[in-house]
Structure 1
Amino acid sequence: MSQQDSSLQAQNPISSAQNSVENAHNAVSHALSHPTAQTEVEALNAIEQANNALVQLNDQSDRPEVQQANEALDEEVNRLNNLQ
């Protein structure tokens, strides 16, 4: 992938939100495998960032990829709630 392609993807708000949801997934997985107060806070912060990214897509909320990202984030919230 060229540098230009990476730049274009980084400017796409949907891709950015999807990346935030993936980061939340990774943080929740880490919190579940290494349950400490710090990893829980990191997971909560990642979930909040992903949620903020998705909220900014409110005008595109009917797009399938945005709906899928919202569902994935809900799943991560549920996974983290099982830890707490």
Structure 2
Amino acid sequence: MTRARTDSSLQSQNPISQAQNSVHNAHNAVTQAQSHPSEQLIQQAETAVERAEHAVEQAGLSYNQKAVNEARADLADDQAALASLENEGSSQ
């Protein structure tokens, strides 16, 4: 196995990388739900945000707190956007 492949494999199992990827996926799901609000897309965004919350929680055990805090801040933005979207839906 080459060094690059080993590094890539290790990175894919790094809790911080997993959290960052999960937060990115949640952001994409929330953005899609904002663009095309439907019950299904909102539910998918909720699920993605929940998964990201769990991944960030797991990454919180890491020594790289700066990266974890950045992921938490990004996730908080998406949580607020999703809550706003859900509130718009419930008021209609």
TM-score, reference length from structure 1? 0.89
Gaps of 5+ in 2: 87-92
1:31-65 Cα deviation digits (max 9, x unpaired): 00010000000000000000001111232377111
Paired amino acid for 2:6: Q
Instruction: Determine the structure 2 residue equivalent to 1:65.
Output: 67
Paired amino acid for 2:22: S
1:20, 1:53 within 8 Å by CA — same for their partners in 2?
yes
Aligned-residue offset at 1:5: 3.5
Instruction: Determine the structure 1 residue equivalent to 2:19.
Output: 17
1:29–1:8 Cα change, 3 Å:
same
Q: CA RMSD in A?
A: 1.6
Gaps of 5+ in 1: none
1:61–1:49 Cα change, 3 Å:
farther
1:9–1:43 Cα change, 3 Å:
same
TM-score, reference length from structure 2? 0.82
Instruction: Determine the structure 2 residue equivalent to 1:45.
Output: 47
**Structure 1 residue ranges, 4+ long, deviating more than 2 angstroms after superposition:** 2-6, 57-62
Instruction: Determine the structure 2 residue equivalent to 1:55.
Output: 57
